[in-house]
Amino acid sequence: MQSSELSVQGQSLQTLYNLYFNKRLIVNRRYQRKLVWSVEEKVKLVDSVVHELPIPLILLAQRKKAGVETYEIIDGLQRLDTFFSFMENKFSYEGKHFDLDTIGDTKARLDAGDIEQGEEKLSRSESLAIANYQIPVSIYRDASTSAIDEVFRRINSGGRRLSLQEIRQAGVLGSLADVVRRSSASIRGDGTFSENVALNDMDELSISRRGLEYGLAMEDMFWVRHDIVAQDDIRSSGDEEMVLDLVLDAVIRPWPTSGWQNRDVAYGVPRKIRTASSDEVNAAVDAVGVEELHQRILSVVGLVDDVMAGHGSLGRHMVKLETYEKGTQRQFQAVFAALYSLTFEDGMVPKSHDAVRAVLDNFWGRKLSIPTGGSAWGKDKKKDLYPNVKRNLKKAFYKPEPKRVTVQLNSRMYIDSLLQGPIAEEPLIELKQGFCTLSDPPVEDPDLFEQIMQTAVGMANHGKSAEGLILIGVADKPSAAARLEQIFGVKAVSLQNQLVVGTAEQIAHLGYDVDRWWRKWQAKIQSSKLSNEFANSLAHTFKPVFCDGLLLWEMRPKSIGKPITYDGRFFVRIGSSTQEMAADDFLSHMTMHFS
């Protein structure tokens, strides 16, 4: 591993809370799991502090970007969250809460109305003793990403504190790990556009526990609602292992064995079996494209959810059993593989949701059977089973003529995942309501293209590895959504507190269909005042997506590893706005972001 400076020192909870208060403690979601401790576990930790018992060391990695110093949490996420949630009165100790007037930062939040004081309080002296408790903190300075990943893996694999899938996924780079991580989070509902999230925002992205009001209720998750993956398995990332199997079935032919050794090999862990190597799997994912595969997976999962809307659990619908302790993972995996093949390999679409649901009724109670148990699911058994599953489901599909360029599956789950997490001031996300002005009559917005090109350049100038998202078809405020409904008769769909309004009616008003508009904008991007390298990259990412019948467009500006200009002008993203900079200021800005 790359050598780096390592310092160990004691820091008070009060000092660490100040870093938290200022959003300088960062969670890297490439390797960090969710908040999983129960209230009982949290109370035990507070009890250790009250009785001045030693607790394990906190391990942080110092990061510096654009002059701002932050600390990435390598080890100690659950402990830090416990301390800060207790100091913010999210749970009590022996029926009493931390006195929020004890330190300046909690008092500031109390005065601002961000947090509330619990009725029963610890004494000021007791609260101060907790705030002054010294924790051993080790800080890596100037550590490389690979070094941090390796440290995390060693910490968590040695003691087997993580599940097999969490160990596979922890800190791993590559297309397979990327699509599994992102698709799993999107399906659960805790996806974020950025990999790095302030610890302050983790509550809303974690699974709720008894006595703790986290953002995601387990019973509302797709896997649990449909009796596919058991709740306890989701806590140990069993849903991510499920997604891994779905991805492998989607991209590897012949269909591979599903077993722990095969999964290990796919992640580059050597095993004495013959199966697709990590290089082969990543190449197969790349052949489809991470973004495309991510969207395809969510589209098929979303189709299943839509098919069963108002009709209960898919598991209970296709397997007529009374108990579901172990879920219906293999049954769903086989159905998913068939739906994926029908849609993306054969170019077919459902006749209707009712037709698909009718075929799936008691699907595994007919002549089809599936191996159960904890052993590997062999590729030979899949070879016999999967074609039969596909043949039965094909009855509910047809092939449209003529063949359409765009696959118009409902991607609501995908759009929902793009809007998850804190995006209000996110510099790498921009939402646009559409291509037309809201005038009477509406006309094509003459400034939109230039604005989007400038924004794309600003996002690409955010750093060497920056990747942004521009999503067209989301209203910036309720009045705009109301006006679009008045002009075009479009009813907005609310997702993640955003109003999705679509653009199909607008481009039809301008005399275009989806495919012609797609080609027009790709040509405009490629012939714009951008460099050829960036223009070609950007044009390739511009594509349509569909949400409950509404047409949106996404664009993914990505850094080419060096600063770029638009028409000889310098643009950057400051917060959620695009700003032009003078040459001298731009040079200073780039020195901080690209050094």
**Residue 373's pLDDT is what?**
66
- Three-state SS for 168-203 is HHCCCCCHHHHHHHHHHHHHHCCCCCCCEEEHHHCH
Region 100-121: mean pLDDT is 94
Residue appearing with tokens 């009718």? 358
**Residue 42's pLDDT is what?**
92
Region 404-432: mean pLDDT is 79
**Residue 157's pLDDT is what?**
56
Judge whether residue 523 has pLDDT over 80. Answer: yes
Q: pLDDT tens across 35-92, in order?
A: 778 889 999 999 999 999 999 999 999 887 666 789 999 889 999 999 999 999 999 9
Quick one: tokens of 85? 């949630």
The domain 423-594 having CATH identifier 3.30.950: the answer here is: yes
Classify 3 as helix, strand or coil.
coil
Judge whether residue 421 has pLDDT over 90. Answer: no
Q: pLDDT tens across 482-494, in order?
A: 999 999 999 999 9
Q: pTM, whole model, 2 decimals?
A: 0.78
**Residue 109's pLDDT is what?**
94
Identify the bridge partners of residue 431 per DSSP, sorted by sequence position: 471
Return the closest-CA partner of residue 234 out of 261, 206, 269. 206
Q: Which of 304-313, 314-323, 400-409, 467-476 has the lowest mean pLDDT?
A: 400-409
Buried b (16+ CB within 10 A) or exposed e, 331-366: bbbbbbbbbbbbbbeeebbbeebeebbebbeebbee
Proportion of the chain above pLDDT 90, given as a percent: 63
**Residue 117's pLDDT is what?**
95
Region 98-115: mean pLDDT is 95
Which CA distances in Å does 313 have to 316, 322, 327, 361, 577?
A: 5, 12, 11, 11, 43
Region 528-551: mean pLDDT is 92
Region 588-593: mean pLDDT is 79
- Type of residue found at 369: S
Q: pLDDT tens across 566-585, in order?
A: 999 999 998 889 999 998 88
Judge whether residue 386 has pLDDT over 60. Answer: yes
Q: pLDDT tens across 141-169, in order?
A: 876 777 777 777 676 655 445 677 877 87
Q: CA–CA separation, 16 vs 22, rounded Å?
A: 10
Mean of pLDDT over the chain? 88
Q: CA–CA separation, 186 vs 216, rounded Å?
A: 12
Q: Which of 205-209, 381-385, 517-521, 542-546 has the lowest mean pLDDT?
A: 205-209
Q: CA–CA separation, 219 vs 206, rounded Å?
A: 13
The torsion of the CA quartet 559, 563, 565, 569, rounded to 10 degrees, works out to 140
Q: pLDDT category, 406, cuts 50, 70, 90?
A: low
Q: pLDDT category, 171, cuts 50, 70, 90?
A: low
For the chain, how many residues are written?
A: 595
Alpha carbons within 13 angstroms on the beta-carbon side of residue 129 total 13
Quick one: tokens of 344? 């993306």
Q: CA–CA separation, 493 vs 138, rounded Å?
A: 47
Judge whether residue 512 has pLDDT over 50. Answer: yes
- Type of residue found at 546: F
Q: pLDDT tens across 354-365, in order?
A: 999 999 999 998
Q: pLDDT category, 236, cuts 50, 70, 90?
A: confident
Q: Where are the domains of the chain?
A: 5-161, 218-398, 423-594
Q: How many CB atoms lie within 10 A of CB 318?
A: 23
Return the closest-CA partner of residue 550 out of 437, 418, 447, 434. 434
Proportion of the chain above pLDDT 70, given as a percent: 91
Classify 116 as helix, strand or coil.
coil
Q: Which of 102-111, 213-222, 248-257 has the lowest mean pLDDT?
A: 213-222
Region 524-528: mean pLDDT is 94
Judge whether residue 2 has pLDDT over 50. Answer: no
Region 429-435: mean pLDDT is 95
Q: pLDDT tens across 389-399, in order?
A: 999 999 999 98
Q: Say how many Å lie between the first and final Cα of the chain, rounded.
A: 21
